[in-house]
Amino acid sequence: MAGEAAIRTSMTEILPANPDGIVRAAELLRAGSLVAFGTETVYGLGGDATNATAVASIFAAKGRPRFNPLISHYPADVAAFEDVVASSVARRLADAFWPGPLTLVLPRKAGSHVSLIAAAGLDTLAVRIPAQRDALLLLAAVNRPVAAPSANRSGQVSPTTAAHVLEGLRGRIAAVLDSGPCAVGVESTVLDLSGARPVLLRPGGVTAEAIEAIVGPIETGAPPAATDVVRSPGQLASHYAPSLPVRMDARDVAPDEALLAFGPPCQGAGLVYQLSETAELVQAAARLFDGLRWLDAEGTRRGLHNIAVMPVPERGLGRALNDRLRRAAAPRG
């Protein structure tokens, strides 16, 4: 199937967490391959967060039905704060809990190199510094932010050993760096600092009480509605949506429409953004958010009234593409 070959490997290397294994894992990540690695919380499925194709491959390997925002991991707070706008509250929490199991959601800097698909199209980023020694050595060796959700197939139990990772992802990723069992065993706490007050989006390895001891009272995110989309790991809310209305399953294109193409474009198309000329799903996923934003801006500038989207097959990563496109096309209140 188109798009599936990108997540299949001849084998998954099992790398020891020694200097040679860490160097090899870093080489694979920098080359765009996927590598699972242990943190103090759970094993993460790592991909170069600046490489949209690598991030799309994470969704494909996990079989995620949606493009959820992913946490970007860094070796130090200085590196993390190069990609986000860090408030004084963020810096106090970083001083108190980093490295450690706390993820902060902050406004994305204009010059950030983290791919839009890693943030699921949002103008915020989720960032964290893990406390596990081998993870920090790996991140320093990669010298790029590494997107890393839990290293399991979507809907399965999060892995806390390399063996758990291999049960679900053997042959779907390039390697796993075996650093032994995870010390904490539950995911990181996710705290949204992008608004007026801190909001707890996901409880985890750092307690709410410990956070409040540093910054005072925090709010708890409202339970997600079934129709909402994921704002950050652990919570659902509103995504970026283009200002131009979106028309799905387009087999023709009107003169006042821009076209988001998948495969050969419809005849008569003027303004076109090509997701994948060869109808390859991983490539299309990597280009989706850039394409929506570009067509929205350029189509508006040219006075167009809609974005027409060619059909995407409802299989594999196509399910996640269609989920995001349906939400972009939904009626607006």
Q: 155-206, pLDDT tens digit by residue? A: 888 899 999 999 999 999 999 999 999 988 778 999 999 999 999 999 889 9
| 249 against 155, higher pLDDT | 249
pLDDT exceeds cutoff 80 at 237? no
Q: How large is the average pLDDT for residues 78-89? A: 97
| Residue of 305, 3, 297, 291 whose CA lies nearest to 121 | 291
Q: 21-61, pLDDT tens digit by residue? A: 999 999 999 999 999 999 999 999 999 999 999 999 999 99
Across 12-16, 73-77, 176-180, 316-320, least confident range:
316-320
pLDDT exceeds cutoff 70 at 263? yes
Q: Is 83 exposed, middle or buried (0-12, 13-18, 19+ CB in 10 A)?
A: buried
Domains of the chain, residue spans: 5-237, 246-329
Q: How confident is the model at residue 234 (pLDDT cuts 50, 70, 90)?
A: very low
pLDDT exceeds cutoff 90 at 233? no
pLDDT exceeds cutoff 90 at 9? no
pLDDT computed for residue 98 by the predictor: 98
Compute the distance between CA of residue 89 and CA of residue 81 in angstroms, rounded to an integer. 13
Q: What integer best gives the mean pLDDT of the chain? A: 90
pLDDT computed for residue 323 by the predictor: 85
pLDDT computed for residue 224 by the predictor: 45
Q: 192-230, pLDDT tens digit by residue? A: 999 999 999 998 899 999 999 999 999 987 544 433 445
Of these ranges, 2-11, 123-132, 176-185, the one predicted with the greatest mean pLDDT is 123-132
Compute the distance between CA of residue 122 and CA of residue 264 in angstroms, rounded to an integer. 29
CATH number of the domain located at residue range(s) 5-237 in this protein = 3.90.870.10
Q: 102-112, pLDDT tens digit by residue? A: 999 999 999 99
Compute the distance between CA of residue 10 and CA of residue 186 in angstroms, rounded to an integer. 31
Compute the distance between CA of residue 234 and CA of residue 200 in angstroms, rounded to an integer. 9
pLDDT computed for residue 50 by the predictor: 98
pTM of structure? 0.86
Q: How large is the average pLDDT for residues 127-140? A: 97
3-state secondary structure of 216: coil
Question: Would you put residue 268 in left (φ > 0), alpha (ψ -120 to 50) or beta?
Answer: left
Amino acid, single-letter form, for residue 271: L
pLDDT computed for residue 227 by the predictor: 35
pLDDT computed for residue 3 by the predictor: 40
Q: How large is the average pLDDT for residues 61-79? A: 93
